[in-house]
Amino acid sequence: MTDSGALAAEPGSPQWLALEWRLMQRRMLACVASRSSELTASPLAVDTGIYTDTRRHFAERERLFMQTPLLAGFSSELPEPGCVLHFEAFGPPVFVLRREDGGLDAFRNLCPHRGARLVEGDRIGSAVVCPFHAWRFGTDGQLQFRPQDAAFACEGPAPALCRVPVAEKHGLVFLRLDPAGEPVDVEAFLGPIAPLIRSFRLDAAAHVRTDAVVTEANWKLVVDVSCEGYHVPATHPATLSPQLVPFITIHDSFGRHHRFASPARRMQEWVGQPEETWPPSHYSAVHYLFPNTILTYSDAIDGGLPVIALNRSFPGRHVGETTVLYSSYRPASAAAIPDSGFLALHEAVLDINRSEDLPMVGRVWRNYQSLPDPAPLLFGRNEMLLQRYHADVAEAVGMPL
Ligand code: FES
Ligand SMILES: [Fe+2]
């Protein structure tokens, strides 16, 4: 494909993604040929306080995570009316419900009588009945019936379920956890990365599995380790490193969302070869969606099966606790491949995170905690995503880096 094809291709179309990939391959190959990487203008000095400061932690919880649209899952996790998607990794638990007309509603999973959890499981019928005293709510959240109704007679409207803003687009479901928050506008939130997300056809991706891991570290340390390739040779010498050319990454920013990619080792054989002879390959990159989501779209995690892997980090009740959700999805292009292959891939990715990344993050965190005062840290010119997303998080909570 030539660059002129880019002008003709509809943004977000398969042809457009193929061209996007070709342009990325050229940049990666140029780096391989010159033994260099794409770099920012300068390193960025920060200190450990951005991870350990309790005031900052609670500002992030309240001003960032309660207000920013958060990825709750994929549309395909709610395929039919009555299907429920639970979101419990941060804040008050919420359930998302697929309506009869195909739209989505989201409510806190909390009874307005005395706070019982209302919905278990992944499906509800025509009403929600609280297991504590049997108040019954319609799927619109309105109270339909309560035993001994007269005992609760008082001024004002009847109590209803607490609605939470929810929206879906391009196969993604986003929540804003503040019930009084603005409606979610997915297109506006994604901004310039929307065509890329659309091109992945996530609405047709099948959910394989989600695992929740609670780890002792600040949530941003967990995000950090997925946002740079610099650690791969030392931290993943036997797992990821054999597949990737060390210390080469290309980066792109799409507003507050970002992308990086590293060349596969086989690309080293292409140096000096005409482009027409490059073997066919699929788009493969890691995407950061503000503030806490890493979406890997790669047809080559194990050199074979295509996979979509998500990891989402959520700040816990204190500064040193993080809940991480690891999810895998089977892309539409791989519908013919059996579930067992994808489950094995999910396990492999989870194992790398649990046995290599999270232990490293935990040791870093314990070091930070041992310090009597904040100590200086440095994000290198090759750690571009860290420089950018930390700046955006700091700006969102109104605290300097
Ligand atoms: S707490 Fe739900 S009916 Fe009482
Ligand atoms: Fe890693």
**Series of mean pLDDT values for 10-residue runs along the chain (401 residues):** 59 94 97 95 98 98 97 97 98 97 98 98 96 98 97 92 98 98 98 97 94 98 97 96 95 98 94 93 94 88 74 98 96 82 91 97 98 97 97 97 91
- Give the pLDDT confidence score for residue 300 in this predicted structure: 56
- How far apart CA 54 and CA 42 sit, in angstroms, is 29
What dihedral do alpha carbons 84, 186, 287, 345 form, nearest 10°?
Answer: 20
Backbone dihedral angles phi then psi of residue 258, each to the nearest 5 degrees: -140, 170
Q: Where are the alpha helices (DSSP H) in 353-399?
A: 358-370, 384-397
Residues with Cβ within 6 A of ligand 1? 111, 113-116, 130, 132-133, 135
- How far apart CA 220 and CA 48 sit, in angstroms, is 11
Our mutation pick for probing the ligand 1 site, out of 108, 111, 136, counting the most ligand atoms within 8 A of Cβ, is 111
Which residue, by CA, sits nearest to atom 3 of ligand 1? 133
Domains of the chain (ranges, CATH numbers): 4-54+191-397 (3.90.380.10), 77-183 (2.102.10.10)
What separation in angstroms does the CA of 217 have from each of 214, 220, 322, 353? 9, 8, 6, 14
- How far apart CA 358 and CA 372 sit, in angstroms, is 24
Our mutation pick for probing the ligand 1 site, out of 114, 143, 149, counting the most ligand atoms within 8 A of Cβ, is 114
- How far apart CA 55 and CA 238 sit, in angstroms, is 39
Which residue, by CA, sits nearest to atom 4 of ligand 1? 133
- pTM exceeds 0.85: yes
